[in-house]
Structures are given as C-alpha cells and as structure tokens.
Amino acid sequence: MSAAADTGSWQGLPDAEDEVVLLTQELIRIDSSNWGDAPETVGEVEVADYCAERLREVGLDPEIIVTTSDSRRAVHVRIPGTDSSAGALLLHGHIDVVPAMAEDWSHPPFAAEIEDGFIWGRGAVDMKDMDAMILAVVRAWARGGVRPRRDVVVLFLPDEEAGSVHGSRWLVEHRPDLFVGVTEAVGEVGGFSLTVRDDLRLYPIQTAEKGIRWIRLRAKDRAGHGSMIHQDNAVTALCEAVTKVGRYQWPVRRTKTVDKFLDELSQAYGVDLTTGELDTVLSHLGTLGSLVGATLQNTSNPTMLQAGYKHNVIPGEAVASIDGRVLPGYEDEFEATIRQIVGDAISVESVVEDDAIEAPFDTATVDLMASVLRAEDPGARAVPYMISGGTDAKAFNRIGIDCYGFSPLQMPADLDYWRLFHGVDERVPVDGLRFGVRVLDRFLRSC
C-alpha cells in the first residue's frame, strides 16, 4: 500500500490533540535537570515513572529499566504491528533536560504556564514536547485499538544531555533484546517548520550528525620562579598552540546531506549558492544559519584552560580542552590537522570520541515523512540536514540502525526555533503540538 493511500484513510485523534497539551505541561513540571553524576540529578526517575504510569492507564505493559543506578531509568514498550515481516521502528525521546536558572526567565522554567499561545518551560522543545506527542498518540491507539503496520519500539531515555552513558549507550550494550528487528529510528531534532514565504515552509529532517572529538592539549616544561627569564614556559607553549587551534580556518567540505540541504535552500530562496551567496541565504535562517555553517567544516573550539597554582611560580604543566566536531568521512583529517597545528612539543589526548553519522535520505520512510507533512501543511517541503551536536542516535547507529530526527512542529514564522534549545524562555506553541500529534499519528500508522 502506498504512503498516499495510507495517509488518505487517516481518521485523526482529536482526544490526543487535546491531551498532548496537558501531558507536555505535566512533564515540564517534573524538574528532571541533568547535572551529570551529581546527586542533584534525580528527576529522571519521576519522569520515567510518570511515562510508565500513563502507558499502564491504557492497558499497556511498559518495562522500567534501571540502567547504571536506581536514579537512572528508562521506559520501554513494544507495540506490535500488523506486518510481522516488516522491520521495526524505534521511537525514542529523552526525559532529562539541561538546568535552568529561574531568575533569568520571564516565566518560571518548571511551571509550564500557557501564555500567548505557548507552553513555557525547560524541555518545551528539548524534548518533552516530543515525549508528550509520543505518549498522546500511543495512548489514543491503545484506547481505540489502532495498530501500526510495523512494530513500534518506544523508549524514553535518561542522560541524553550529559552524553547518554547512563541511557542509550548502556541499553545498546546491555539490552540488545530491545532492538531485535529494528531497522530505523526516529527521535530529535527535525520536522520543525522554517517559513520561507506564506506558501512555502521547509521542514528539515535530521539525517546526519557531526562526530565528537573532545581532546586535551598538554604542555610540559621546566617549572621555575616567575621573576626569572624563562624561555621554557609550559603556559606560553600551550597558549600558542591553543591560539593556533582556535583560529585555524578549516576547509569547507560538502557532505551528501549538506549538499542536498543547500540545494533545497538555493531553490527556496532563489539564490545560486555556487556564486558566493551562501552567507546571504544563511542570514535568512536565524540561528539555524550558524548551525548550517558549522556543518560545512570541521570545528575546533578551545573551551577550558588549566595551569599553575601561585602567581609567582611558573608551572611545569599546562592543559587545555578543545571541543572538536567532525564531519562524516573527515575524522582522520581532523586528527592529522590538529597534530600538525600544535607540533611535537604538545601532547594530544583523546577525552571523548564519538561517531559522525549519516543516514540515507532517498528512502520510503523519508518520503512518507514528506507526505504526512504535506497532508497537514500543503506548503511543506521536507529537506535533509545535519546537526553540529549529538543525540541518542549515535548509540543506535552503532548497531546498524538508520536514525532520523523527526519531531514534527509547525512554528510561528517569526520564532527562531534553534535559540530555544537550552535557551532562556524555552517554549512551544500549543497549535504546533496539535499539529505534531496529527503528523506523528499519520506517519506511525503508515510507516
């Protein structure tokens, strides 16, 4: 059966559209701030219990999975499809959020107040909105006896905001049974609208992520008194190396995903990107333009410096932290270039190394995403894009699952979506949530 035929017979879930608003509010009101391994990271447990209880209310039998400790929990449920020969789809959302300082916000970050058509609060777009959409759709299916075509594996995950060590990475290593038959995964960050004009909205679908290369530069030399002439100074050597790394102009590298995205932008804005007008196009995209720029090259940003213990003592060692992000296929170039920049006197140590990933865009699943978006928004055009950060998709990609970011939202034309991520006054439009439920329901029933 074609995607068009499937979506054409869709009846909708009006109860889920109403329920998603309350679910989003209730999820935001649980402070699940991820402070890393600090004792303050406790809210994930309450969110996991909340999600499990909402699923039990409609007759489902979710599993609460304790990962690395009792304070880190995931929730799993598998919804059987009607076609047992089809590969399963993993539908995942993380339940932690980054911390928020209430004094910086115009609305309390964990109150989930509704004002001006928005729900305000930490996690509104990253990503308790998607968690709520998943719950709303799955609950409505259970009440109405709806079954998708293929098995849908639902996972609510801890620790995404601090590296996923206690969440998706642990599950991939210790619970491979959860992923039996799974061929594709859907999570954050994609499916949001970017208005070009009244009759055209781009909906970026995340098909790629840059890899992570967090490295440590270390200079060692002779310690001494600060009042003396001292040519062998570890701090000086390190600062010279850090400056070179931070100011290095990485060459532009056009990957498949970014090439396709730039081609779509060129068509949408009527600008030939081969004539040096890329900056003009990116300026139309707000914060997303900066993100696109970061996906055209490797990056290496110094973030921390450590050296010395007293004003008049030259230390024997100085250390710098570099946040490196690498394009798919250019990992070796990054490592070789860094070593060439800093020279033999500076040691380069790997701190965190994670994969760059890229999934195919010309697939039936992505075609269906485009189809269901158009069914709800005739002006929708789905386009692939790469994010410069990372998500739980990295863990799932390691076991051969093609991963996509598809958390559908229709956003107001004047709202800079990317500034909301980890930002002050994070918020999600109520109408956008209802739109997301309709799109997600259409997609999951037919995929």
Quick one: CA dihedral 99, 103, 107, 112, positive or negative? positive
pLDDT of residue 277: 67
Q: How far apart are CA 54 and CA 62, in angstroms?
A: 10
352 - beta bridge partners?
Answer: 214
Positive/negative CA dihedral, 374, 378, 384, 387: negative
The average pLDDT across 163-191 equals 96
**pLDDT tens, 259-308?**
898 888 888 888 776 666 677 777 766 777 777 788 999 999 999 999 99
- Count of positions (residues) in the chain: 447
Instruction: Give the number of other Cβ atoms within 10 Å of residue 144's Cβ.
Output: 13
Each residue's pLDDT tens digit, 92-135: 999 999 999 999 999 999 999 999 999 999 999 999 999 999 99
pLDDT at 361: 93
Q: Which residues pair with 259 in a beta bridge?
A: none
Q: Does pLDDT of 2 surpass 50?
A: no
Q: Is 56 left (phi over 0), alpha (psi -120 to 50) or beta?
A: alpha
Q: List, in order of start, the domains of the chain with CATH numbers.
A: 3-193+387-446 (3.40.630.10), 209-354 (3.30.70.360)
Measure Cα distances from 343 to 6, 109, 232, 320, 387 in Å: 59, 46, 15, 15, 31
Q: How far apart are CA 265 and CA 384, in angstroms?
A: 11
Strands 200-209 and 299-307: unpaired
Coil, helix or strand at residue 293: helix
